[in-house]
């Protein structure tokens, strides 16, 4: 079935008519070329960028995975086009307004999509230019809230508004708890508990935000382990999520070691979850980071694994603890025959290469049974336990196993 949002069409508007009048047509033309180039750099080969007449451009973006991705792309385009440029000796800065219509949601045909993208563009203009708007009002509110959140994230870290929740992972044969995944939440004074998808996706674009957040998480996880240790709660490793940006940070390993030292913890009690692109982006750097972590016992899990068969060769050269099968595949085990086949094949191949396999997002008994038959090693999901604050996880740690 086609993804819900396959196409985004957006128009952006600048002000070359004025530039034509004040600086001449030559500069106006140069500016249009400059903008076109910047737009092209923001998108993929397969996307379409076209000048729609005057100072309007239309872009057709295919295969945007989520509305969040579309919002992020829009923010990137506004940022990029809004950068000052020097043309023919003149310093020029434009403030583009961008309107977004989503195929399916906002229209089925090109005329409707263009009309709605245009209407959204006027909203963006009315909001003061240099910004973007979705045609859909709900999406707009979410996008605006998300950009506000990203702006205030730094303050939230300093003010101590972030929390860690923990979700247990357990062996599938005896349901013994093998580890806890740490998941960040923001206890916002006005908006209540906010989930990471609402503030991380934008923050990830900005290393000044994502790095301090990552350091906070490392420290908070170690602090929790030390607290439990002092209270004689039986310990299992905590696995923290490390974003691509953070994994590329040369200080990551030192930060992790410093936190372990600060709380006098062995490296075996801490692990990280990274996605495949952390490795494929720069295999040599990844190898070096992982060797350093391993020297201290810190384990690495590959998160969100779904279609990376081609990377198995590369992965097999690295020392990883396990592969985590993406929850989208697990959720479809019983609806999509192909996904069940993919899950089974990932497990078989991973085992041949010597990795453990963990299934995330397990929600039903049927999924548990399927995974058991397929030989999956570990499970995690709402079926067993939703992510929860430390105090709600403690009884499970004392017990040592899932109740189911
Ligand atoms: P993820 O690493 O794939 O984390 C698992 C997500 O699945 C969590 O969402 C968790 O609450 C949710 N989940 C667990 N069991 C089930 C289930 O049975 N069904 C369904 N439908 N969902 C389940 P959450 O907490 O909203 O986190 C979303 C994403 O945000 C995470 O995806 C991770 O990529 C990112 N994230 C969370 N905490 C951190 C962090 O501290 N640092 C970084 N860099 N990223 C984080
Ligand atoms: Ca994860
Ligand atoms: Ca995951």
| pLDDT tens digit sequence for 116-139 | 999 999 888 888 888 899 998 888
Distance from Cα 304 to the centre of ligand 2, integer Å: 7
Question: Tell me, what's the pLDDT at 145?
Answer: 77
**For 225-233, what is the mean pLDDT?**
97
N-to-C CA span, the chain: 34
- Using alpha carbons only, what angle is made at residue 232 by residues 226 and 233, rounded to the nearest 5 degrees? 80
Task: Say what the pLDDT of residue 347 is.
Answer: 96
Residue 295 pLDDT greater than 80, yes or no: yes
> Minimal CA–CA distance to 365: which of 392, 342, 333, 339?
333
Is residue 9 pLDDT above 70, yes or no?
no
Torsion angle of the four alpha carbons 142, 148, 151, 154, in this order, in degrees rounded to the nearest 10: -80
Ligand closest to 272 (CA) is 2
56 Cα to the center of ligand 2, angstroms:
41
Which residue, judged by its Cα, is nearest atom 21 of ligand 1? 361
Helix (H) or strand (E) holding 49: strand 48-51
Closest-CA residue, ligand 1 atom 20, reads: 361
The C-alpha atoms of residue 201 and residue 273 are separated, in whole angstroms, by 17
Whether the per-residue pLDDT at 90 is higher than 90: the answer is no
Residue 404: its pLDDT value, please?
58
CA-nearest residue, atom 3 of ligand 1: 304
Residues with CB under 6 A from ligand 1: 167, 183-184, 195-197, 200, 214, 217, 240-243, 303-304, 327, 360-363, 381-382, 387
Instruction: Among 241, 359, 382, name the best residue to mutate to test ligand 1's pocket (greatest count of ligand atoms within 8 A of Cβ).
Output: 241
Residue 17 has what pLDDT? 56
H-assigned helices in 82-206: 110-126, 137-158, 200-203
Number of the ligand closest to the Cα of 181? 2
DSSP letter, residue 189: T
Q: What is the pLDDT of residue 19?
A: 78
Instruction: Report the alpha-carbon distance of residue 197 to residue 185 in Å, rounded.
Output: 10
Nearest Cα residue to 316 out of 352, 275, 345: 352
> Hey, which of 165, 196, 368, 382 would you mutate to test ligand 1's pocket, going by the most ligand atoms within 8 Å of its Cβ?
196
pLDDT of residue 393: 96
Number of the ligand closest to the Cα of 243 = 1
Query: Taking ligand 2, which is a single-atom ion, which protein residues have CB atoms under 5 Å away?
Result: 241, 273, 303
The top-scoring range by mean pLDDT among 17-26, 277-286, 380-389 is: 380-389
Confidence (pTM) = 0.77
**How far is ligand 2, taken at its centre, from the CA of residue 233, in Å?**
24
What would the mean pLDDT of 329-345 be, rounded to a whole number? Answer: 92
152 burial via Cβ count (<10 Å: 0-12, 13-18, 19+): middle
Whose CA is closest to 183, among 170, 172, 173, 193? 193
- pLDDT exceeds 60 at position 10: no
**Cα-based distances in Å from 392 to 96, 97, 164, 216, 317:** 48, 47, 12, 21, 38
What integer is the mean pLDDT of 94-114? 90
Q: What is the mean pLDDT of residues 172-199?
A: 93
State how beta strands 299-305 and 238-241 pair: unpaired
The CA distance from 271 to 181, in Å, is 9
Cα(97)–Cα(343) distance, integer angstroms: 44
Pairwise pLDDT comparison (53 vs 112), residue with the higher score: 112
């Amino acid at each position: 079935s086609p993804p819900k949002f396959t196409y985004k069409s957006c128009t952006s508007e600048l002000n070359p008519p004025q530039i034509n009048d004040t600086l001449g047509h030559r500069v106006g033309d140069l500016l249009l070329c400059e903008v076109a180039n910047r737009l092209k750099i923001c998108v993929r080969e397969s996307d379409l960028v076209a000048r729609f007449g005057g100072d309007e451009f239309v872009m057709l973006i295919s295969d945007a995975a989520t509305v969040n991705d579309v919002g992020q792309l829009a923010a990137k385009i506004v940022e990029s086009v809004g950068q000052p440029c020097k043309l023919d000796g003149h310093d020029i800065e434009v403030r583009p307004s961008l309107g977004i219509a989503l195929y399916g949601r906002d229209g089925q045909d090109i005329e409707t999509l263009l009309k709605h993208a245009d209407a959204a563009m006027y909203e963006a203009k009315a909001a003061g230019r240099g910004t973007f708007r979705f045609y859909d009002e709900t999406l707009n509110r979410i996008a605006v809230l998300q950009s506000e959140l990203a702006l205030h994230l730094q303050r939230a870290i300093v003010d101590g508004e972030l929390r860690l929740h923990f979700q247990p992972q357990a062996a599938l044969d005896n349901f013994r708890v093998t580890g806890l995944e740490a998941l960040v939440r923001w206890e916002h004074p006005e908006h209540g508990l906010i989930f990471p998808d609402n503030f991380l996706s934008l923050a990830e674009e900005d290393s000044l935000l994502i790095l301090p957040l990552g350091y906070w998480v490392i420290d908070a996880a170690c602090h929790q382990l030390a607290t439990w240790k002092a209270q004689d709660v039986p310990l299992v490793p905590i696995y923290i999520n490390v974003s691509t940006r953070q994994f590329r940070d040369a200080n990551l390993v030192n930060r992790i070691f410093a936190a372990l030292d600060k709380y006098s913890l062995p490296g075996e009690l801490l692990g990280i979850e990274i996605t495949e692109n952390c490795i494929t982006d720069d295999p040599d750097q990844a190898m070096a980071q992982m060797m350093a972590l391993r020297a201290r016992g810190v384990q690495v899990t590959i998160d969100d694994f779904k279609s990376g068969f081609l990377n198995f060769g590369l992965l097999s050269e690295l020392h990883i603890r396990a592969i985590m099968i993406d929850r989208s595949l697990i959720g479809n085990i019983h609806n999509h025959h192909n996904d069940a086949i993919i899950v089974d094949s990932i497990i078989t191949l991973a085992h041949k290469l010597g990795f453990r396999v963990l299934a995330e997002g397990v929600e039903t008994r049927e999924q548990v049974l399927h995974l058991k038959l397929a030989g999956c090693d570990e499970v995690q999901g709402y079926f067993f336990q939703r992510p929860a604050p430390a105090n709600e996880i403690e009884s499970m740690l004392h017990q040592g196993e899932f109740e189911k």
